């Protein structure tokens, strides 16, 4: 009997990021992030409103210049959770369902994260440039998004 192939560590953690994205409360972008070091998950994050504030799926979007500003991004929430709980993110990898935006890229740089693995593209050349200039390894790991995952750039 043949055993199914085990997924690589990158495939394993990016799949978990997609599972985390299912908790997103902003239907404009269901994004998930997982921060990992030495093959151990440190924190997770998904798109959602700040703690204690209403979510998009409860009160609607707060749009400014075509972007919903009610929510924090998945990467931001993962980094904030690390800070809140005293988890060191230095020399870690962040797995994200979408390429980080420029603001998230800057947070990733300052959080000491050294590698970004992402599945879906996001139209932000500046974020890629900042990450590259900061010496952060940026890897696109294309993965078919689940049919119910919605993304609006």
Tens-digit pLDDT profile for residues 123-151 = 899 999 999 999 999 999 987 554 444 44
Out of 22, 58, 75, 125, the active site residue is: 75
- End-to-end Cα, the chain, rounded Å: 45
- pLDDT category at 4 given cuts 50, 70, 90 is confident
Tens-digit pLDDT profile for residues 68-83 = 899 999 999 999 999 9
Tell me, yes or no, if 75 is annotated catalytic. Answer: yes
Tens-digit pLDDT profile for residues 83-138 = 999 999 999 999 999 999 999 999 999 999 999 999 998 889 999 999 999 999 99
d(CA 66, CA 60): 14
Angle at 94 (CA atoms; ends 61, 90), nearest 5 degrees: 120
Tokens at 26, concatenated: 């902003």
Between 144 and 42, whose confidence is greater?
A: 42
Of 134, 47, 59, nearest to 98 by C-alpha is 47
pTM over 0.85: yes
DSSP 8-state assignment for residue 21: H
């Amino acid at each position: 009997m043949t055993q199914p192939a085990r997924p690589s560590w990158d495939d394993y953690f990016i799949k978990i990021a997609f599972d985390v994205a299912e908790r997103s409360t902003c239907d404009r972008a269901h994004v998930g992030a997982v921060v990992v070091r030495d093959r151990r998950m440190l924190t997770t994050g998904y798109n959602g409103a700040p703690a204690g504030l209403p979510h998009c799926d409860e009160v609607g979007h707060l749009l400014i210049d075509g972007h919903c500003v009610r929510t924090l991004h998945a990467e931001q929430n993962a980094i904030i959770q690390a800070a809140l709980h005293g988890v060191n993110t230095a020399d870690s990898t962040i797995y994200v369902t979408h390429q980080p935006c420029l603001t998230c890229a800057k947070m990733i740089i300052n959080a000491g994260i050294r590698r970004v693995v992402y599945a879906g593209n996001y139209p932000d050349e500046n974020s890629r440039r900042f990450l590259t200039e900061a010496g952060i390894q940026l890897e696109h790991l294309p993965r078919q998004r689940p049919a119910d995952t919605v993304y609006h750039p």
